[in-house]
Structure 1
């Protein structure tokens, strides 16, 4: 770890790059909706530990069929 002129520890370039990469990955998962599946799995494991969560493919199939059946305020 690098220190500044006052002797305080400063994160190095690779640490900063790693943080930026993790932030970008977190953002990308939110944009693509992958974080919704992660939240579903976390909920299932916490609230229903006896059930096996749906696979990602099953989850998205269920989400899309629900959207098609109940379009709500969508325009299309």
Structure 2
């Protein structure tokens, strides 16, 4: 039997995990896949590594975009 305290702890654990994934940008690929499957079901999806490489190339190509320290 799962206690009320254990359910609350699990709930807070999921919230913390979601928050950290949002802060680090880890959810970006997941949102991209969801969007692409809904809007363009026939489109080929890149792997996570390919997606991250493309994303980084786009960031570096436009210095006006995200904050860059260097």
TM-score under structure 1 length normalisation: 0.78
Among 64, 67, 75, the alignment partner of 2:59 is: 67
Among 21, 39, 47, the alignment partner of 2:13 is: 21
In terms of Rg, which structure is larger?
1
Post-superposition Cα deviations, 1:13-37, rounded to whole Å, max 9, x if no partner, equal 1110110010011011111101111
Aligned twin of 2:44: 52
Structure 1, unaligned runs of 5 or more: 2-10
Moved over 2 A (4+): 73-76
Between Structure 1 and Structure 2, which shows a larger proportion of helix residues? 2
Structure possessing the higher relative contact order (Cα contacts under 8 Å, 6 or more residues apart): 2
State the Cα distance separating 1:43 from its structure 2 match: 0.6
Q: What is the root-mean-square deviation in Å for CA atoms of aligned residues?
A: 1.7
Between Structure 1 and Structure 2, which shows a larger proportion of strand residues? 1
